[in-house]
Structure 1
Amino acid sequence: MPIYRCNQCSLVSEEALAPIGSKLPCSRCGTASTVYGTVFYVEKLVERYFSALREIKALQEADSASEALPAVQAATQGAPTAAVAPARHLPSDVDMHNTAQLATAEQHAPLQAWFAARQIDARFDHALVDTSGFFDDAARLIGQDYALFGELMERVRFAYRKSHGWVNLELANLSQKDAQAITGLCRQLYSHTFFSRYHYQKPEKIVRLTLQTAPAVRQFFDGGWLEWHAFIELLSQTQARGQAFSCARGVKVVFPNEDLHELDVVCLSEGQPPVFIECKSGEFRRDIDKYLRLRKRLGVERGRFIICAADLTQEQAAGLTAMYELTFVNLQTLAPHLAQLA
């Protein structure tokens, strides 16, 4: 819908019947105002937002350098100096494993604007990008060796779904190296409260795990771990390129016809279209047609709409990508594909 902003009184208003490029008197003060297309107007706002972030980053770097200068001078004179902490800048220079500062409306604003320009109502839970807890760390450990840890994850998920309170893992048939890796993961998950009890019966080589009842932990084992893994991977790739970005998880989007969808992981980098990752730790084939329609409605190219399925082989992922106008990856091919995106 066409839109204008009055330069005199700052009123922003929509004008359904006004031709784009024409001038209209402001409905509040009467000042002549140019009418723009909504998508064009929002894209310019996003450009200015990122430009302002670059300016803030440059100022912060200058301040950091000026604060460090007295310490350097004192060091050259032999005086003891305090360590100068590296400057942290948002959003391109963020500590990925302590991103409580990303859980704000301001950080989500460019994504909100991108959706709004396409008449899509996007609803965010800002807390879902807060990685100051242990969910992202646990997801990273699982993703690094999912071939070994996949059975554990499936056993725990099955136990939750059947309302069982415990899981027993028999490790006698595994190599010593693999058994040590599994017990190490279980101990670490227990230390981070993903299990309420951990016990290893060494003579029998059996791990006994008592499940945690917290809903957030259950959701993690039911597939949330893969969303965390994909989110951190996408954040890492974006950060490596030094780009400012806006990111989100679990975005609920409502289209003009009131269709509701949830997007697992989304990231909008400066000057680029957004990247969408849908995460599947179980069966997904029945949803392929849904994702095809969703990609087209969002208006993004196939390379930027990614289905990350943990149980796919590389050959299966390549074959499905060739068959459908979507990109299929597994845990091994996710990072290389993201690295190819400009």
Structure 2
Amino acid sequence: MALFRCNKCGHLREVNNDYIGKSVKCPKCSHVAQIYETISFVEKLLEKYFVQRDEIQKLRQADIITEAEVIESESPPPSALNDINLFNTTALAEEKQIAPITDWFKGRKIKIEADLRQLDTTGFFDEVAVSLGNNYALLKDISEKIKRTQKKGYQNLSIPLSKRSQKETREIIEFCQNLYEYSFVAKYFYQKQEKLVRLALQTSPAIVQFFDGRWFEWYVFIKLTEFLRDKNLQISCARNISVLFANEDFHELDIFFLIDGRLPICIECKTGEFRTDIEKYRRLRTRIKLDKANFLLCVLGLSQEQAAGLSSMYDLTFVNEQSFLEYVEKLL
């Protein structure tokens, strides 16, 4: 297998040897990077490692302590997620990781059950979700077309590109190629003369659910986890947790974060109709004893004006895919 490593965000992934020497966009941040043959890549990496090791040994022998090192030693401890590739880890899917959230609910006499598989990012749901969400303006029509086709029970669709710019065509083709590489579609063909992409869709329930809206949950979850990690904050996070109240009422929460053990944030994600659920979420917020500011309804495509207006009307905080990170930052 060959290796793809993004020089900008550090994303690392094994790919087929057929891609050696080619430059492709990172599925995480869209930065263009080259694919390397594994052995030569490792040899160069080891060469750099030994050079740096020798330099470190010389510094230790000379007992050099700079002012910068002293300042660094006084900085707060790093987040436990700093050394983790969020796009390829099982570290989030451990009981100890969600234990603070479990204790938080227990303090409110609420029992929760968490499916830890929803926090396992060794699959490709997170990569595709971020790729789609980061370029949603362009890829929206394709995502919706896949969703509609799957709902109708059909398996084949075509995507005409003749009216697209060269840049848009490249990005759409790359997205569809990634869907095929990650097995989100069963077949992929690009008819260059006709400028037509043909896809054979997967019928797996997990893939159908992904395009039906689960992708947005993955997008919000990964983007917020990455955002908080980069701010060096201690976090506990969970997805799709089941909440059981004392009277045996049952509810599910899309996303829940506990930041530095003190700041809870609950996010419900909506890609379609949400108005009929407003009262349900208001009651749920009250029952889990969260302030309005900490219970977010993140609605895909909601305008900033609509979000502000709805937030003033209801005891919920409305945000969209472009504003949720900025809003959370104000809470920190």
TM-score band w.r.t. shorter chain: 0.7 to 0.9
Q: Is 1:314 equivalent to 2:314 in the alignment? A: no
2: CA distance, partners of 1:297 / 1:111: 16
Indicate the SS of the match to 1:231. helix
Matches within 5 A, 1:51-200: 72-73=56-57, 90-91=80-81, 94-200=84-190
1:265 match: 255
Structure 2 counterpart of 1:73, one-letter code: Q
- Equivalent residue number for residue 25 of structure 2: none
Q: By how many angstroms is 1:76 displaced?
A: 7.9
In structure 2, the CA distance between the partners of 1:89 and 1:314, relative to structure 1 (3 Å rule), is: closer
The alpha carbon displacement at 1:99 in A equals 2.8
- Would the aligned equivalents of 1:194 and 1:212 in 2 still touch at CA under 8 Å? yes
What is the match of residue 276 of structure 1?
Answer: 266
Taking only the aligned residue pairs, the percentage that are identical comes to 42
Please, which runs of 5 or more residues in structure 1 have no aligned partner?
A: 1-67, 78-86
Structure 2 counterpart of 1:250: 240
Q: How far 1:200 sits from its partner (Å)?
A: 1.2
Query: TM-score if structure 1 supplies the norm length?
Result: 0.73
Counterpart in the other structure of 1:234? 224
Inter-partner Cα distance in structure 1 for 2:135 and 2:166: 16
Query: What's the TM-score, normalizing by structure 2?
Result: 0.75
**Contact 1:88–1:94 under 8 Å retained in 2:** no
Higher radius of gyration, 1 or 2: 1
Q: Does 2:198 align with 1:208?
A: yes
Instruction: Give the match for residue 287 of structure 2.
Output: 297
- What SS class does the counterpart of residue 265 from structure 1 fall into? strand
2:290 counterpart SS class: coil
Contact 1:282 1:311 in 2 (8 A): no
Deviation at 1:294, TM superposition (A): 0.8
| Equivalent residues of 2:89, 2:121 under 8 A apart | yes
* Aligned-pair CA distance for 1:94: 3.4
Letter in 2 for 1:72: I
Tell me the distance in 1 between the aligned counterparts of 2:219 and 2:320. Answer: 11
Describe the shift of the 1:75–1:252 C-alpha distance in structure 2 as closer, same or farther (beyond 3 A). Answer: same
Partner SS for 1:274: strand
SS in 1 for 2:263: coil
Counterpart code for 1:299: K
Amino acid at match of 1:217: I
CA deviations 1:226-251 (Å, max 9, x no partner) are 01111012212221232211111010
Q: Counterpart of 1:336? A: 326
Which whole-Å deviations, capped at 9, do the CAs of 1:238-265 have from their partners, x for residues lacking one?
2123221111101010111211111111
Task: Name stretches of at least 5 consecutive residues in structure 2 with no aligned partner.
Answer: 1-51, 62-76
Q: 2:156 touches 2:200 (CA, 8 Å); kept in 1?
A: yes
SS of the aligned residue for 2:86 comes to coil
Taking the aligned partners of 1:96 and 1:260, their CA distance within structure 2 comes to 30
159-168 or 312-321: bigger deviation: 312-321
Give yes or no for contact 1:92–1:243 (8 Å, CA) kept in 2: no
- Find the aligned partners of 2:96 and 2:104 in 1 and give their Cα distance: 14
**SS at structure 1 position matched to 2:190:** strand
Q: Distance in 2 between matches of 1:204 and 1:191?
A: 23
Alignment RMSD (CA, Å): 2.2
Residue deviations 1:167-198, cap 9 Å, x none?
Answer: 21122222222222211111111111111101
Aligned-partner SS, 1:96: coil
CA distance in 1, matches of 2:232, 2:243: 28
When residues 89 and 293 of structure 1 are mapped into structure 2, their CA distance, relative to the original with a 3 A threshold, is closer
